[in-house]
Amino acid sequence: MKLLWAPWRIQYIAGEREKGCFLCRIRREKKKDVENLVLWRGKTHFVVMNLYPYNNGHLMVASNRHVALLDSLSDEELLELMQLTVKCVQVLKKALRAQGVNAGFNLGLSAGAGLEDHLHFHIVPRWQGDTNFMPVLTDTKVISQQLQQTYEALKKAW
């Protein structure tokens, strides 16, 4: 039997859950953008890498306001959300040569939201053949690059 070593996952699996909203904390910690993997701060939203990604380069565009519903956003906020989504796709294609992208919201617990009360939009880069036997047979996903290396490549491309 071969072992897949992924020690960084234990923090997510067994670590204590952060009290309060981690996106609000990241929004407040402007001097810790590198540590928090923040790529960009706009007027109404910010772009942050997912600390526990579905795929290498998994990004989130998060509202600066702690709101849960799309209809809570103003027209200005909705426009910036979509503009930042377009920019994220461009950066993922440039920096990581993404061949495709899954993008969307998980609105509510029944839709898979891990954080249901702070609106955020997922942007997950995809490559031909990136879905293989690992997730199907072993419920394991292989992330091929360290988060900090991915952050540096995306920040440079931004």
Chain segment 107-152, per-residue pLDDT in tens:
888 877 778 899 999 999 998 877 654 454 445 555 666 788 888 8
- Give residue-wise pLDDT tens across range 26-82: 999 999 999 999 999 999 999 999 988 878 899 999 999 999 999 999 999 999 999
Phi–psi pair at 103, nearest 5 degrees: -140, 140
Active-site residue among 45, 58, 120, 122?
120
Q: Of the candidates 21, 81, 88, which has an alpha carbon nearest to the alpha carbon of residue 58?
A: 88
Phi–psi pair at 136, nearest 5 degrees: -75, -50
Question: Is 58 one of the annotated active-site residues of the chain?
Answer: no
Instruction: Give me the residue label for tokens 């293989």.
Output: 132
| Higher-confidence position of 42 and 20 | 42
Q: 142 with 134: CB under 8 angstroms?
A: yes
pLDDT at 137: 44
pTM for the whole thing?
0.79
Confidence of residue 96 (pLDDT cuts 50, 70, 90): very high
Cα–Cα distance, 158 to 148 (Å, whole number): 15
